[in-house]
Amino acid sequence: MAAIDAILGEIEQESKVTQRVLERVPEDKYTWKPHDKSMSIGQLAMHLAMAQGRLAEIVVKDSHDIGPGFSPPPVPDSRKELLDTFSQSTAKAQTALRGLDDAKLGATWTLTKGDKVLIAAPRIGFIRSIVLNHMYHHRGQLSVYLRLLNVPVPSIYGPSADENPFG
């Protein structure tokens, strides 16, 4: 089994959980923010929906320049748009990563901003920390947003206060 097979299996498993969280985002609250410095719930959900595919397409190249800075994600027009975006992003990630063999996973991948090197690390480390863990981080944020809006939080890695997959 190649190392990428474990990553692809994790994407498959975690995508099911992420979809359940995205399905709970209330369409009538897409512009709601818990704080002035926060993204809106719609922006955060769309970031989560888009990020996996974009990041995977970036990491298959040898380097990436982040350019001038971060642009906030758009607010989705509907739940359908949000879930379709996530489905397409997951498929993009799986397709992009499927082509990586162990040698390519162990090769150095570089993130730059102009002439400045921000990260130079084995590609597999970037995949783990940014493509996967980055997703889990934002999914956790989104679950807090849901709680603050009094929306039932789905089970993620076990029971939530609203859902118990074991009971």
Each residue of 64-123: pLDDT tens digit? 999 877 788 999 999 999 999 999 999 999 999 999 999 999 999 999 999 999 999 999
Select from 1.10.420.10, 2.10.109.10, 1.20.120.450, 3.40.50.1460 the CATH code of 3-26+38-68+75-148: 1.20.120.450
Q: How many CA atoms lie within 13 A of 11 on its CB side?
A: 28
pLDDT of residue 123: 96
Q: How confident is the model at residue 130 (pLDDT cuts 50, 70, 90)?
A: confident
Spell out the domain ranges in the chain: 3-26+38-68+75-148
Nearest to 135 by CA among 1, 34, 7, 3: 7
Please, which residues have CB within 8 angstroms of residue 157's CB and are 6 or more apart in sequence? 17
* DSSP annotation string for 142-167: HHHHHHHTTPPPPPSSS--SS--TT-
The pTM assigned to this predicted structure is: 0.93
pLDDT of residue 1: 73
Distance of CA 84 to the CA centre of its chain: 14
- The angle subtended at Cα 15 by Cα 161 and Cα 24, nearest 5°, is 45
pLDDT of residue 97: 95
pLDDT of residue 108: 97
Phi-psi region of 114 (alpha: psi -120 to 50; beta: other; left: phi over 0): left
The model's pLDDT over 18-75, given as tens digits with 9 standing for 90+, comes to 999 999 999 999 999 999 999 999 999 999 999 999 999 999 999 999 987 778 899 9
156 pLDDT more than 90 = yes
